[in-house]
Each structure stands twice: as C-alpha cells, then as structure tokens.
Structure 1
Amino acid sequence: MSQTDIWADGDHELGEGARCVDGRLVFVDILAGRLSEVPEDGRRTPRELLRLDVPLGAVAPVHGRHGHWIAAAGTGIALLMPDGWPEEHSSVPTRMNDGVCDPHGRFRAGSMPYDGTPGVGSLYRTDPDSSVRRALDGMTIVNGPAFPADGALLYVADSAAGVVHRCTLDADGNATGREEFARIAAGGSPDGMVVDDTGRLWVAVWGHGAIHRYRPDGALDATIPLPTPQPTSACLLREGGRLLITTARHGLTGATGVAGAVLAVTVDATAPAAHAFGAP
C-alpha cells in the first residue's frame, strides 16, 4: 500500500457509487442528484453529466445506448437519457441508494428509509426486460452490492447494522442463501464495495475513515487508513493497480479537508470495468 492522493478535486456532499466505465470514473453526489465523470488517465476536475432534483443513488451504463443510464433515483428505478427525465415509479417513504449491474446485465439497487426505521430497506433487481422485483428485504440502509466476475455470489451491506451479507446465486441470479460475511466494529459502517480479480472484497468503511479488504473466507487481511472519515465507495481500475474512493462531507462541521474529493491509492489489485445494463 502507498500514500493516498487526491484523484479529483471536489466538494461533494455525499459522493458515492464509483464505477469505471469506458475509460473514465463515473460517480454520483447523492443528495445533490448529480452524476459526474473523471477520465482515468490523470487528476482532473469532475465534469457534471446530468443533475436531477431527486436523490441519485447510483447508475450503470445501458448496453448499446451511449449516454443512457439505469439509475437508482428518488424512490425507484429510472432510465436516464442524455437530455431526458426519468420515468417515475411508485412512491414509498424511502429513497433509493447504491446500485450496480451484475455480470449478467441485471441492475441491483438498494433502498433506505428517510427516518431510519429498521428493516424497511430492500434490495431490488431490474432485469433487461425492465421488470423490477424485490430480491432481498429486512435490511435498513442497503449499500454496496458487489459481485465476483462469475456472478455466482452477491455481497450486500446493511450499513445501519454494520454487516456485510454474502448470498449465493443460482443460474437465474436468484439468492439461494444469505450469510453474515463480515461485521464492522461499532462506530463504522460498511458502504460501497468492489470485488477484485482474485475474489477479495474491498469495503469503504463510513465513520472509520478506512478501506477494509477481506479474503473470500471472510478474514480481514488489509486496512487502508484514509485522511477523511467518510469514504463511501471503492472502485478498482482495470489496469494500473489504483483504488479510487469517493468521499462525503455530509454532516461534517468545521474544516473538512479532503472530504468530498475522490481519492486514489496504489494497490496490488485490479477489477473488471462496470457491467452495462442489458449486456449479454
């Protein structure tokens, strides 16, 4: 591990959902409803791609449709177009949060209650035919769905409980079992996650200012301290051994330092680029 650098300047209130897409990092500022991009080939100022007037939890690219995104937005799943507005879904007293496409092109996104009511959050699955179903329930703040390259496992965090769950998936992507994979110590919460090419899980730990790396057997084998307390998501580049980390200044007072910037750490790991919605 090496020194942490600022990958991209920014003052994001709740940066989240870092994904590598077509040679660039894309990420959201949830409460501001912003989607931004930064080229992977050096430190840059983020460029805003679009802005909504509802919270934007996460996006994934739509296969074969440049500039289109499947998104966890407001209180549902929406299709974002370059100059368009998302179709609204059913209204519930929650908001959508983090999400990602699995290796088979299905979009998985979590929800969370505004008032923190336990057990209200769910993980939703949107298939390429645009059907939406609840895949997992009984959680509170659902965060960081992540998959290994073969798509046989699903990692999902309940941030409020401090737990990362691991689910086995059948050939159709349905969960056939759920177990506690890791538990974060009191004061920290698992947030965004990514699985590297060797099957290790990298977890942004909100409140502890660190990235945790877990082996496939659940053992914690590395901790990367960060210069800000609220990392929100982790993304590994396909080449070059760089871990990119979004951070948040939400709720911090006084001088916030690098909170809200995108950080970069040199690591001994790589991961596939983000999967596109509807990709075969």
Structure 2
Amino acid sequence: MAIPTEPVMVVVDGRYELAEGGRWVDGRYVYVDILSGRLFELRDDASPVPRQLAALDVPLGAVAPVYERPRAWIAAVGTGIALLTTDGALEWLDRPEDRTPVPSRMNDGVADPAGRFWAGSMAYDGTPGAGSLYRTDPDGTVVRALDGLTIPNGPAFTADGTTMYLADTAAGTVLRCHVDPVSGGLSAPTTFARLREAEGSPDGMTVDEEGCLWVAMWGAGAIRRYHPDGRLLRTLTVPAPHPTSVCLPPGDNRLLVTTARHGVKNPTAASGAVLSIPVPAGGTAACSWRGR
C-alpha cells in the first residue's frame, strides 16, 4: 500500500529531461542529466542552487568520485568509461559499446566499497538483451561482468561490498549477486524482486544503513523499500510519474530523488526535478573509485 509522503519538497524544479545518478559526495549532492551530458552539484544550504560542473557532447549516465582527486570523476559516458577532469576533458579508459551490433550508450553506475566502478549499458532503441554491466578495476581495466541485460540500472551495494543489487528496468526485475571481495567476480544472478507492469519498473537504487534496498519505480510515481530477505517494507508516493534515482545522505533522515520529464505528456515542476522527502532512515556517502 502506497503511503502519501507529505511534505515532498521540490528542491530543484523540473528543468531536466532525464535527471539520474544522485549521489552524496563530500557534503554535496551530485547528479546528472543523462541526455544533455551535464553534471551538477547541489550544496546543502538555505537557498540551494545547482552548479553545473561539466557539459559534454555525449550522454552522461553517472559518475563516481576518484579517490584523493577531489575534482576528478570516473564516468559512465557515451559508449564507455572515462575519467572526467576538472577542465571537462575526457580521458577514455575503454569504449566497449563501440563494438556492439546496435547503437548503445552507457547508463547508471556507481563505485563499490572496494574501489571498483560498475556501470551498465543499453541500446538506444531498447533492444532486449543488448545491455551489459561493466566493472572498471583500479588499474583501469574495463571488464564485461554481465551481459544479456536490457536496461540495467543501479547497481547498489551493501556496506561490506559483498552483495550487489542490479535492476533490469525493462524486464521489471531486481537481481542480486554475491561479489568476491578480492577479484570483484560475481556469482550467478538470482531474482530478488519481480515487478508486474502495473507496479512500475525498477530504476535507480540505494542501500540504507540497515541493509534495506530503496528502489525508484519508473512509471509508478513511487519509491519502494525492501528488507534484505525480499519483503516489501514500505512504498512512498512521489508527485512525478518517473522517479529515476534515490539517495540517502548520511545522518540526515531524508531521501533525495531525481525524476524525469522524458515521456511525460503534461510535466509539472516535480517532473525532471530533484525532490526531498523526510524518511526515518539513513544512508552512506558515495564510494570512490580507487584508481589512478
């Protein structure tokens, strides 16, 4: 049963086509507008105004901070993985989606507690099974970790880094894998949650300090919280049909949500926005990629 979440605050109004990838990094909220290739930060002050950090000429799926390089990012961008420097230049590590049979782009991504960066890819036309999940190791090697996906989103990791959740939005499933803490190798995925079409499609995710999984439900105007055993604990409504990512700043008891205008016929200020919702749960700051 969905629980009305009042008050829901529109922190940044609906100016983005496809806001995504919200993360808490060094006391600030960082997110992207995928299709326009832009990266933003939002400082936590009385009158928050987003600051644009980068504008690229290719889609920008997500970023993670680079360890001990405060203004550098590793990015799921265009057709691959690159380092994004302070002057907005891209240093490519690999472009694996240049080698796929259908036009594709990178999508959501995140660093895990061991310092690896994980990011998914998808075909522009949503070709079933054309998406993959890539792992970028600290030495800069990019490895295809899973294939046969359609629109991978997440992933999200438990605090010890040994469990990964991954949404396949088009398939309506949330997968779970064991992660080898040393090699980053994955066990065979199992189905953690399977959603009916009427329930919406799982999109961005995060794990809270209690080990519970929060999932943005594209098409349903809702956020779900799951117990690690798979039980649905709570469903929150949001005033936008397409929530895309969820972030729980540490020690804050609020949920930050990005949303999309993409595919919305009559968008309001809450579509393509950043929302803030009070919740009785805390999260953790984003992990860094511990590479060169």
8 Å contact from structure 2 (residues 254, 279) kept in 1: yes
Equivalent of 1:174 in 185, 210, 220: 185
Between the aligned partners of 1:54 and 1:24, the Cα distance in structure 2 is 24
Where do 4+ consecutive residues of structure 1 move more than 6 Å?
A: none
Partner of 2:74: 70
Equivalent of 1:217 in 209, 229, 235: 229
Structure 1, 115-124 or 85-94: larger mean CA deviation: 85-94
Between the aligned partners of 1:156 and 1:126, the Cα distance in structure 2 is 16
For 1:149, give the aligned amino acid. A
Structure 1, 110-119 or 83-92: larger mean CA deviation: 83-92
* TM-score normalised by length of structure 1: 0.96
Between the aligned partners of 2:167 and 2:267, the Cα distance in structure 1 is 30
Partner of 1:140: 150
Partner of 1:204: 216
Equivalent of 1:14 in 15, 18, 24: 18
SS of residue paired to 1:68: strand
For 1:128, give the aligned amino acid. P
Partner of 2:265: 253
For 1:182, give the aligned amino acid. A
* TM-score normalised by length of structure 2: 0.92
8 Å contact from structure 2 (residues 261, 267) kept in 1: no
Between the aligned partners of 2:23 and 2:15, the Cα distance in structure 1 is 19
Q: Tell me, which stretches of 5 or more residues in structure 1 are unaligned? A: none
For 2:197, give the aligned amino acid. A
Q: Once the two structures are superposed, what CA deviation does each residue of 1:181-220 show, in whole Å capped at 9, x if it has no partner?
A: 0112204110000000100000000000000000000011
Partner of 1:152: 162
Equivalent of 2:42 in 31, 38, 41: 38
8 Å contact from structure 1 (residues 146, 154) kept in 2: yes
Between the aligned partners of 2:279 and 2:194, the Cα distance in structure 1 is 23
Counting aligned pairs with the same residue, the percent is 58
Partner of 1:49: 53
8 Å contact from structure 1 (residues 110, 122) kept in 2: yes
Query: Alpha-carbon deviation of 1:156?
Result: 0.3
Between the aligned partners of 2:281 and 2:254, the Cα distance in structure 1 is 8
TM alignment of 1:91-102, pairs within 5 A: 91=98, 92=100, 93-102=103-112
8 Å contact from structure 1 (residues 8, 38) kept in 2: no
Query: Alpha-carbon deviation of 1:253?
Result: 2.0
8 Å contact from structure 1 (residues 101, 274) kept in 2: yes
Figure out how many residues of one structure are paired with residues of the other and give that number.
279
SS of residue paired to 2:188: strand
Partner of 1:189: 201
TM alignment of 1:255-270, pairs within 5 A: 255-270=267-282
Between the aligned partners of 1:138 and 1:42, the Cα distance in structure 2 is 45
Query: Alpha-carbon deviation of 1:255?
Result: 4.2
Partner of 2:119: 109
Between the aligned partners of 2:50 and 2:247, the Cα distance in structure 1 is 16
Partner of 2:133: 123
Partner of 1:24: 28
Structure 1, 242-251 or 78-87: larger mean CA deviation: 78-87
Query: Alpha-carbon deviation of 1:43?
Result: 4.8
For 1:143, give the aligned amino acid. N
SS of residue paired to 2:91: coil
Query: Alpha-carbon deviation of 1:10?
Result: 4.3
For 1:39, give the aligned amino acid. R
